[in-house]
């Protein structure tokens, strides 16, 4: 196995190029957080300019999530088929064009279409960069690096909120999308020059000139080259390695469990993310104060992702993820008690964000660990795509519960159960043994 480039990467210290790649996955994930916050901040200006009601605005706000779900489901498979590098480049280009064209929209229909288009690119990127973060990491730091990639979302959300607030002072919502398009476009040359095709994907797919490409990348990373491609044999059950899919008998149980866990927890996560501003305003605070509380929730989320990554590097990923999911349930219920003091409310939301987003990061690391390289983007994409259904349902379910007269503590209790169900599903999940590298 010492002539296997995947094993060399797993056993060797991280090189500068590998660290740069991990940094770029964080930046790419931040685009998702920026875009979500940007459209939220721009929505009042859109509604005022076009004189549309809340129902029509709600449709516009949901279009990106639909695009993300489709992009994750479909383009994760593309990344496993044609490679990580071309998929990321194409998806980033789609995102940049979609954001730019959104700034040219003149009505709900064309804006919605471009939001779906942008979401396709984001969904494809999310499915692919999870695989990239895992495959450019060594075994020692894999869980940490995947978790660090995941904190890009709350970091992008915080920065997106701050930038959008400044850009919107002009009274025009279009500069928000123009800025997003420009920043996204700036990442294209960085990905082009600093993200080679993943060695793990080349070793498993073995396309034309795979050995030469593998050795070129190994040289760039400062690792030893290899004399031959690894042999893709059969495992003890007779299953040909590298040919099964996420829905094959060997994998379908794992696929359903991790997708279900992500789906249920994301309902809890998006309940906090989407309803905090409205709940804070209903408590009697100003809208500006509500925005500040949401920023603190994202700051907590970024810290939670980093801490979960460090803990998962030192302890069992499964145990850490279950613990954070249970803590997420507790903190959502603490938030549901309601507070009259803004400082206390901000602290509680930061803690809720810490655990809810920390659990998201644990689930991302779980995707990377349970799916082998040749289906990692497909498995991650399927889980994220299904999970986006939870992101759409969460604010709707909470809205109906509030409309029916349920109190904040009761609604928070009911929505917190998503994290509990996710914890149970992760508990029954069979994961690779600690230290075992899933190629």
pLDDT recorded at residue 236: 42
Alpha carbon separation from 225 to 8, 204, 213, 258 (Å, rounded): 9, 17, 11, 35
Percent of the chain topping pLDDT 70? 93
Residue 295 pLDDT > 60, yes or no?
yes
75 lies in some domain: yes
Residues 264 and 151 in one domain: no
The Cα–Cα gap between 208 and 197 comes to 13
Residues 289 and 423 in one domain: yes
Tens-place pLDDT, residues 153-184: 888 888 877 787 778 777 788 888 999 999 99
The Cα–Cα gap between 121 and 100 comes to 13
Per DSSP, the three-state class of 336 is coil
Percent of the chain topping pLDDT 90? 33
Residues 253 and 127 in one domain: no
55 lies in some domain: yes
pLDDT recorded at residue 170: 76
The Cα–Cα gap between 42 and 171 comes to 10
Residue 371 pLDDT > 90, yes or no?
no
234 lies in some domain: no
Q: Mean pLDDT across the stretch 91-97? A: 95
Residue where a domain terminates, one of 187, 204, 229: 229
Query: Range of 55's domain?
Result: 1-229
Rounded to 5 degrees, what angle do the CA atoms 76, 215, 207 make?
45
Residues 175 and 307 in one domain: no
Residues 130 and 69 in one domain: yes
Residues 297 and 398 in one domain: yes
Residues 427 and 292 in one domain: yes
pLDDT recorded at residue 172: 83
Residues 253 and 386 in one domain: yes
List all residues 6 or more positions away from 360 whose beta carbon is below 8 Å from its beta carbon: 150, 153, 265, 266, 269, 305
pLDDT recorded at residue 182: 94
The Cα–Cα gap between 402 and 408 comes to 8
The Cα–Cα gap between 91 and 46 comes to 26
Residue-wise DSSP of 353-391 = HHHHHHHHHHHHHHHHHHS-HHHHHHHHHHHHHHHHHHH
- Residue 420 burial class via C-beta count within 10 angstroms: exposed 0-12, middle 13-18, buried 19 and up: middle
Q: Mean pLDDT across the stretch 18-47? A: 85
Average pLDDT value for the chain: 85
pLDDT recorded at residue 336: 85
Residues 87 and 15 in one domain: yes
Give the model's confidence band at 375: pLDDT under 50 very low, under 70 low, under 90 confident, else very high: confident
CATH number, domain at 436?
1.20.1250.20
Residue where a domain terminates, one of 195, 229, 263: 229
| Total residue length of the chain | 439
Residue 363 pLDDT > 80, yes or no?
yes
The Cα–Cα gap between 314 and 132 comes to 21
More confident residue, 179 or 275: 179
pLDDT recorded at residue 439: 58
Tens-place pLDDT, residues 116-157: 999 899 989 988 998 899 889 998 888 888 888 888 888 888
Rg of the chain, C-alpha, whole Å = 21
User: Residue 250, Cα to own-chain centre: how many angstroms?
Assistant: 26
More confident residue, 40 or 12: 12
Residue where a domain terminates, one of 196, 229, 262: 229
Domain count of the chain?
2
pLDDT recorded at residue 434: 57
Contact indicator for 49, 98 with CB cutoff of 8 Å: no
Residues 268 and 146 in one domain: no
Residues 180 and 271 in one domain: no
The Cα–Cα gap between 154 and 307 comes to 14
pLDDT recorded at residue 288: 66
Tens-place pLDDT, residues 226-262: 888 887 654 444 444 455 688 888 888 999 999 999 9
235 lies in some domain: no
Residues 345 and 375 in one domain: yes
Q: Which residues pair with 234 in a beta bridge?
A: 240
Q: Mean pLDDT across the stretch 7-25? A: 92
Tens-place pLDDT, residues 402-418: 878 888 888 889 989 99
- In the numeric block, the tokens 């002009």 are attached to 170
């Amino acid at each position: 196995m010492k002539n296997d480039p995947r094993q060399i990467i797993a056993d060797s210290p991280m090189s500068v190029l590998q660290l740069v790649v991990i940094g770029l996955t964080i930046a790419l994930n931040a685009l998702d957080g920026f875009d979500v916050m940007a459209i939220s901040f721009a929505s009042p200006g859109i509604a005022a300019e076009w004189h549309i009601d809340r129902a029509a605005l709600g449709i516009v706000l949901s279009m990106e999530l639909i695009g993300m779900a489709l992009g994750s489901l479909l383009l994760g498979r593309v990344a496993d088929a044609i490679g990580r590098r071309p998929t990321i480049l194409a998806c980033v280009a789609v995102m940049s064009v979609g954001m730019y064209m959104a700034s040219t929209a003149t009505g709900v229909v064309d804006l919605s279409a471009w939001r779906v288009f942008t979401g396709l690119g984001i969904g494809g990127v999310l499915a692919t960069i999870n695989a990239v973060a895992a495959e450019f990491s060594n075994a020692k730091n894999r869980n940490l690096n995947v978790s660090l990639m995941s904190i890009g979302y709350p970091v992008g959300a915080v920065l997106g909120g701050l930038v959008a607030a400044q850009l919107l002072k002009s009274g025009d919502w279009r500069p928000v999308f123009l800025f997003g398009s420009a920043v996204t476009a700036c990442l294209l040359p960085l990905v082009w020059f600093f993200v080679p095709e993943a060695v793990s994907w080349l070793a498993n797919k073995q396309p034309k000139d795979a050995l030469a490409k593998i050795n070129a990348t190994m040289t760039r990373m400062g690792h030893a080259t290899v004399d031959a491609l690894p042999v893709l044999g059969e495992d003890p059950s007779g299953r040909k390695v590298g040919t099964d899919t996420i829905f094959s008998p060997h994998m379908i149980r794992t696929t359903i469990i991790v997708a279900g866990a992500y789906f249920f927890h994301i309902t809890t996560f998006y309940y906090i993310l989407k309803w905090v501003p409205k709940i804070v305003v209903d408590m009697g605070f100003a809208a500006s104060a509500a925005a500040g509380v949401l920023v603190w929730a994202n700051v907590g989320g970024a810290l939670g992702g980093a801490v979960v990554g460090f803990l998962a590097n030192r302890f069992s990923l499964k145990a850490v993820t279950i613990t954070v999911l249970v803590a997420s349930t507790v903190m959502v219920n603490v938030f549901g008690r309601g507070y009259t003091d803004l400082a206390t409310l901000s602290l509680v939301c930061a803690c809720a964000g810490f655990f809810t987003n920390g659990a998201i990061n644990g689930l991302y690391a779980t995707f990377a660990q349970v799916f082998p390289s040749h289906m990692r983007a497909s498995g991650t994409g399927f889980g994220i795509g299904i999970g986006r259904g939870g992101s759409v349902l969460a604010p709707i379910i909470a809205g109906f519960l509030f409309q029916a007269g349920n109190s904040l503590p009761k609604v928070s209790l009911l929505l917190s159960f998503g994290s509990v169900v996710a914890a149970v599903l992760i508990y029954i999940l069979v994961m690779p043994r600690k230290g075992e590298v899933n190629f």
